[in-house]
Amino acid sequence: MRIILLTQDDPFYLAQNIDYLIKNMPKHSEVVATVVFDVSPFGKRESFSDKLKKTYDIFGLGFFVNYGVKFVMSKLNPNKKVKNILAKHNVPLVEIEGNINKVENLERLKAYKPDLLISIAGNQIFKLPLINLAPKGCLNLHTALLPKYRGLMPSFWVIKNNEKYTGVSVFFVDEGIDSGDILVQKKVEIGNKTQAELIDHTKLLGMQAILESVEKIHTGGYELIPNPNEEMTYFSFPTKDDVKEFLAAGKRFY
């Protein structure tokens, strides 16, 4: 089965997990190409200076310095760069211009004859021609137990809201936001994890869920888990006040 990954050049969590995913891909499937989007932690495309300012304004000096140091260190470590991991595994990088839904970009993807698309932190809205491009569909990884906690930064919100459990959901993409039927879902206890620890945990768990999903699609023997809109909750990016409440309750980012 021929797979195209749709992801972003995240400097903190993705490189090592995509490395794990490609290394453990079953023999009947292979990643034949990858699209790497620009990083957009706030859910939209912004300049680098705007990202810095917004990070400082919302999360404060300590968070800004901590992740600033991690960002610099990632630039010095080739194993923290998604594109380097792809090169190590000889996975071609599909160069796109602008929105992935443009006809010329879809034609570039079609040239690789994918059977399946998999989005991992894909940060553009997918339209039907892209969703339907591969005959076996388009999967997305969401690090929460859908239909709860659709939207952005679920690792922050589940901790802030004192949830006991969270998890990961691999679902078939439709035209909604995190609203498609679920193929694999895994649950995990939050305990006293920091947000960074929870992200580490759920990202790896997510790769394992993707591998399980690939196996299920290969065999064809699976039952979908409903993702009903009437049971959903949705969260956008935290505000400065949300962060203050998070810290005041004794929650920790790292």
Rounded CA-CA distance 142/140 in Å is 6
Give 33-50 pLDDT, tens digit per residue. Answer: 999 998 755 445 567 788
Token readout for 2 is: 């021929």
Domains of the chain: 2-248 (3.40.50.170)
This prediction has a pTM of: 0.94
Residue with tokens 């040239």: 111
Pairing of the two strands 30-37 and 138-142: unpaired
Give 227-247 pLDDT, tens digit per residue. Answer: 999 999 999 999 999 999 999
Cα first-last separation, the chain:
39
Give 76-98 pLDDT, tens digit per residue. Answer: 999 899 999 999 999 999 989 88
Give 122-180 pLDDT, tens digit per residue. Answer: 989 999 999 999 999 999 999 999 999 999 999 999 999 999 999 999 999 999 999 99
Rounded CA-CA distance 46/40 in Å is 7
What b/e string do you get for 105-139 counting C-beta neighbours within 10 Å, with b at 16 or more? Answer: bbebbeeeebbbbbbbbbbbebeeebbebbebbbb
What pLDDT does 41 receive?
52
Alpha helices in the chain (DSSP H): 14-23, 48-76, 82-88, 103-110, 128-131, 154-160, 195-219, 240-248
What are 182's strand-pairing partners?
Answer: 171, 225
pLDDT higher at 79 or 251: 251
Rounded CA-CA distance 99/179 in Å is 21
Tell me the average pLDDT of the chain.
Answer: 95
